Amino acid sequence: MSLDTTTLIAILAMAAVTYLTRIAGLFVADRLVLTGRAKAAFDAIPPAVLVAVIAPTALTTGWAEAIAAAITAVAAFRLPLLGTVAVGVIAVVVLRNLI
């Protein structure tokens, strides 16, 4: 088993940042009351980040990936998480063989 130094630093940085976000709420519990647009912007962070990460794969790789992403999105509102993943993976394998 190997351990790359830069990878280790990246893991430790991710761990430190994550722990800080986890305990920060403890110190702002009395003060952090977001309302209106500020709350909407804060609530939008997780979906905005998740979409930004996958957008290149989903939209600009090829037709198979783009169509599979659309099929997955339809499934996502009807199936549990694992079912959604299964539909997406099967769709992309089938479409790559067809297109």
From CA 92, how far away is CA 99, in angstroms rounded? Answer: 10
From CA 41, how far away is CA 88, in angstroms rounded? Answer: 29
- The answer to the question of residue 18 lying near another protein (CB under 8 A) is yes
Applying the rule CB under 8 A, the residues between 29 and 88 that interact with another protein are 29, 32, 34-60, 65, 68-69, 72-73, 76-77, 79-82, 84-85, 87-88
- The answer to the question of residue 99 lying near another protein (CB under 8 A) is no
Of 39 and 63, which has the nearer Cβ to another protein?
39
- Rounded to the nearest 10°, the torsion over CA 12, 18, 19, 22 is 180
Report how many residues bind another protein under the rule CB under 8 A: 73
